[in-house]
Amino acid sequence: MGISEADLIALWTTLKLAVVSTLALLVLCTPLAWWLARTRSPYKVVVEALVALPLVLPPTVMGFYLLVLLGPHGAVGRFFEALGLGHLAFTFTGLVIGSMLFSLPFVVQPLQNAFAIAGGRVLEVAATLRASPLDRFFTLVLPLAQRGFLTASVLSFAHTLGEFGMILMIGGNIPGRTQVASIAIYNHVEAMDYSSAHGLSLILVASSFILLISVFTLNRRFKVVNLA
């Protein structure tokens, strides 16, 4: 069982990818989930279906479309090239975009449920107590939806750790740049290097377990909030 420097870099890339895409998702999905929880628009179903799409699509399909879209001939890739930033296939940014799409439903759905519960009568009460809409959001909705945020973060983080098919498609196999742990393990197995595969796998198992333990501990420390 050995851990090479390349493996460590792959682990680091994985961690970075999970953290960055989770944070970005939380920021972007908060308004989206809020809108979904509050709107009576007829387009709500359409948006909900789009958000849930990554749950049913094979990761390779999404990866393929992303590769096309983000690559030098795709719309997004060309746009970035025109900006002088280069296209996004085979880059870390590309991976982040892919991971975000992949984990989208895992963030939106818990947040939407939390907002649906936290958004009722207490908001009317707060308005009669002179709280502006933004004030109400920060002082009531966010704290009351904290469990939703915790669930969303954990699901997105864990989901990104285990991502494989899509990352492979959009170029997550460049050692030192875009190679993540799950793909490094696959490479080790392909090369019959079971010892290295064991090492990396064990680290992923242990860190996932520690993550869940700390989440559950944290969850117990949260005040249990009953919203009638």
Q: Which residues bind other proteins (CB under 8 A)?
A: 121-122, 124-133, 135, 139-140, 143-144, 223, 225-228
- CB closer to other proteins out of 132 and 195: 132
- CB closer to other proteins out of 72 and 143: 143
* Cα 15 to chain centroid, rounded: 12
First to last CA, the chain: 54
- CB closer to other proteins out of 124 and 206: 124
Rounded Cα–Cα distance for residues 152 and 225 (Å): 18
Helices of type H across 40-193: 44-56, 59-70, 75-82, 92-118, 121-128, 133-136, 142-144, 146-161, 165-169, 181-190
- CB closer to other proteins out of 56 and 134: 134
CB 196 within 8 A of CB 3: yes
User: Which residues, other chains included, contact 179 with Cβ-Cβ below 8 Å and sequence gap of 6+?
Assistant: 6, 9, 10, 13, 172, 173, 187
State in angstroms the smallest separation of the CB of 136 from other proteins: 8
Nearest to 161 by CA among 217, 90, 92, 103: 103
- CB closer to other proteins out of 128 and 217: 128
State in angstroms the smallest separation of the CB of 26 from other proteins: 20
CB 44 within 8 A of CB 36: yes
State in angstroms the smallest separation of the CB of 127 from other proteins: 4
State in angstroms the smallest separation of the CB of 140 from other proteins: 6
- CB closer to other proteins out of 53 and 225: 225
Following CA atoms 214, 217, 221, 222 in sequence, which dihedral angle do they give, to the nearest 10 degrees? 70
State in angstroms the smallest separation of the CB of 39 from other proteins: 15
CB 159 within 8 A of CB 101: no
State in angstroms the smallest separation of the CB of 227 from other proteins: 6
CB 225 within 8 A of CB 117: no
State in angstroms the smallest separation of the CB of 122 from other proteins: 6
- CB closer to other proteins out of 82 and 134: 134
